[in-house]
Structure 1
Amino acid sequence: MDIIQHSIAVGKYLVSPLIRHQDDGNFAASVSIRSGRGSGMHDRVMRFTPRFASHAAAARYAVAQGLGWVRERHPRSAPLALPCAG
């Protein structure tokens, strides 16, 4: 089961970590980066190959990668990051 936790609003983007518990006991990390609304919404999902010993470590990695992606494209948006209910 995928879990979205602690989404972060950054400018026009919503960065949400997606963490999956693996059969071997480790955790896989992905991140959703959403922008737009309604029929104009776009959702980019990136899956990562490293595996993590804890849910928290996987979530930190996913958020860092998502924020890095946003910062590369919109450097001025990065300081506006605020946690959202997720």
Structure 2
Amino acid sequence: MTSRPFTPETLADTWGCSAETVRNLCRSGTLKHFRLGRLYRIPANAVEEYECQTSASDGSGVASVSTGPSRTENVPGISLRHAPERQQSQKQ
């Protein structure tokens, strides 16, 4: 009996990443998958294959999943900073 394929959400819960990260791995061709209309489905053997490839490459025995761009990349974004505190005006 074959096991049911993973959804990006269930696989993301297992791997501790976002479902969008799993979809990005599928889109890039890194993670084998199939589509049912607009839905992504990832076979269990593809998950096992991916985990074996990633754990063999880093030697840690734990699958690592990219969670987005690293801080060293030049990615435009929003820079948050605190505004200076306002001083209340003196009433006369």
- After TM superposition, the score normalised by the length of structure 2 is 0.30
Structure with the higher fraction of residues in strand conformation? 1
Q: Say which structure, 1 or 2, has more relative contact order (CA 8 Å, 6+ apart).
A: 1
- After TM superposition, the score normalised by the length of structure 1 is 0.31
Structure with the higher fraction of residues in helix conformation? 2
